[in-house]
Amino acid sequence: MEIDELRKENAELRALVAKQAKQIELLQEQVNYLMSKLYGKSSEQTPEDGQTSLFEDDENGVFEQPESTGEQIETIIVRQKKRSNSKTKITKELPIKDEVIRLTDHNCDQCGTQYQIFKKKAGRKLHFKPAELYIVQQYKEIGKCQHCSESIDHYGDKLTSAQMPAVLIPNSLASADLVATIIDNKYKLALPLDRQRRSFKELGLAISEVTLCNWVITAAKRLTPLYQLLAKRLKGQTHLHGDETPIQVLRERGKTPTSKSYLWELRSAGLVNQPIVLFHYAPSRSEKVARYLYRGFHGTLVCDGYAGYNHLPVEIIRAGCWAHSRRKFIEAANGITGQTSISRQFVTLINQLFRIEKRVQGASNQERLAIRQEQSRAIVNQIFTLVEKTRAIEKSKLGRAIQYLTNQRSNLLVFLNDPQVALSNNVAERSIKTSVIGRKNWLFSTSQRGANANALFLSFFETAKANGINLRKYLIYLFKQLPKLGAFPKECQLEAYLPWTKYVQQSCTD
């Protein structure tokens, strides 16, 4: 009887030790992950990309190759990228002013004869002229008809006045170019309005941040019809990318100032002729917002595995992002020691997919589809074969990476049958990076009106950049022309102001 009790107690102790060992491994993985976040490289590039590996062996620096899965895996050759030329370059023709460094004495110090003077280039210096404010005093012509004014039947002078042009903000000091510059500084340079206010004070304009905010919000209202037209054109495309990022809005009904709101992004695929990037502010990240944003869209959406996209209409095909999958395996490679080798194998196989995509850039849709069917499909099969063979610790980084890959399997396979589907959602992440960098300076939006204005102008900035035009020049053009269309412009009138139209391209390029 005592022996049975001892055996039972021994089994319980063994189970407890095994459980604690597993917990220790998971905790050690969290420590490794946090240490890599604090002190490691943030880049996800691996030796295939020509960068130093995150997974190099400390002893020999060799990147471990995956185990054989029945098919020969291409040998990886590590090449270092050439160091970029860091020499300062002047990329535009700048105005040149001559400066002559004169002799202190124009007579020969020996015989006193006056020197014959000639000049020789001795060097050049780049100078900066600070911005300046100036006032344009407006006058309007008044016409007086002398004949009618002298008429017996006419009382008083016969006068006619020039019609003042419609302006962006009536009864305001703000001109189109001033408001455009404020917006350009905020969204291109991530310069908050309060810093711009201080800069204006040095230039001779004492103005409150509230006034600057009102100018930006008023300008956003003027561009709203064009923003809505861009949204309509975007949803008419066949392939889109989507993403979202948290922002903070202080004054929202039913929410605390510290709660999260979200900036949703919809954008064109990378190679379309008329690229559009749109942002939308929403107080939440719920599936209701996703259904509202993609209402009217019938096509393929490349996005991550966020569950909110699961509630989109069935006519929208979801394509997964292989970069998100790779990111999770990169994190797993810094985790539990016994699982790093398997994680590296997944990263290596996914990197092969990206190398194939790099080779088919510029190919026709038929060629790209054929290569994906022939080469990429075989690698995808290897990846999911490796998934079936792998036994990962539950809740570990590798376990979660495999679970994500399994859950997203049908979405990740879409690119194999559609040559227009991108392998990753990186194009959307690059566009949304502007807002991520900007919010470090802006910190928050005070009101929902301000958040909506931020979303609108981020849309115009990214869309202008995607179409190769200068945001400031584009805004000046819009702020001068759109007021002429009245408060409710027609869609056919707004067509001329889309960023890819001929006149906009000619007048608003850098």
- pLDDT tens-digit map of 270-303: 888 899 999 999 888 888 888 999 998 999 999 8
The answer to which of 49-53, 200-204, 235-239, 423-427 has the lowest mean pLDDT is 49-53
User: Looking at residue 45, what is its pLDDT?
Assistant: 57
Does the pLDDT at position 171 exceed 70? yes
pLDDT band at residue 31 under the 50/70/90 scheme = low
User: Looking at residue 17, what is its pLDDT?
Assistant: 65
Where does 372-425 have alpha helices with state H?
Answer: 377-389, 397-407, 409-412
> Residue 337's domain spans which residues?
322-424
- Compute the CA torsion angle 208, 210, 212, 218 (nearest 10 deg): -150
Q: For the chain, how many structural domains are there in total?
A: 2
Please report whether residue 116 resides in a domain: no
Name the E strands within 134-184.
142-145, 158-161
Residue 212: beta bridge partners?
none
User: Looking at residue 238, what is its pLDDT?
Assistant: 92
Same domain, 340 and 313: no
Tokens of 97: 């002013």
Does the pLDDT at position 75 exceed 60? no
DSSP secondary structure string for all residues of 33-84: HHHHHHHS------GGGTS--TT--TTT-PPPPPPP-SSPPPPP---PPPPP
Does the pLDDT at position 414 exceed 50? yes
Distance, CA of 293 to CA of 262 (rounded, Å): 13
Contact 214, 193 (CB under 8 A): no
Q: Average pLDDT of the chain? A: 81
Cβ density class 293-326: b for 16+ within 10 Å, e for less: bbeebebbbbbbbeebbeebeeebbbbbbbbbbb
DSSP SS3 for 223:
helix
Does the pLDDT at position 50 exceed 70? no
pLDDT band at residue 63 under the 50/70/90 scheme = very low
Q: Which of 403, 424, 445 is the last residue of a domain?
A: 424
Which helix H or strand E contains 178, and what residues bound it?
A: helix 176-188
Q: Which of 424, 453, 474 is the last residue of a domain?
A: 424
**Who has greater pLDDT, 407 or 440?**
407
**pLDDT tens digit sequence for 336-347:** 556 778 888 889
User: Looking at residue 81, what is its pLDDT?
Assistant: 52
Residue 393 DSSP symbol: P
pLDDT band at residue 177 under the 50/70/90 scheme = very high
Upper half-sphere CA count for residue 450 (Cβ side, 13 Å)? 23
pLDDT band at residue 67 under the 50/70/90 scheme = very low
Same domain, 353 and 312: no
- Beta-sheet pairing, 300-302 with 239-247: parallel
Q: Which of 424, 440, 459 is the last residue of a domain?
A: 424
Contact 168, 479 (CB under 8 A): yes
Same domain, 310 and 330: no
Does the pLDDT at position 235 exceed 80? yes
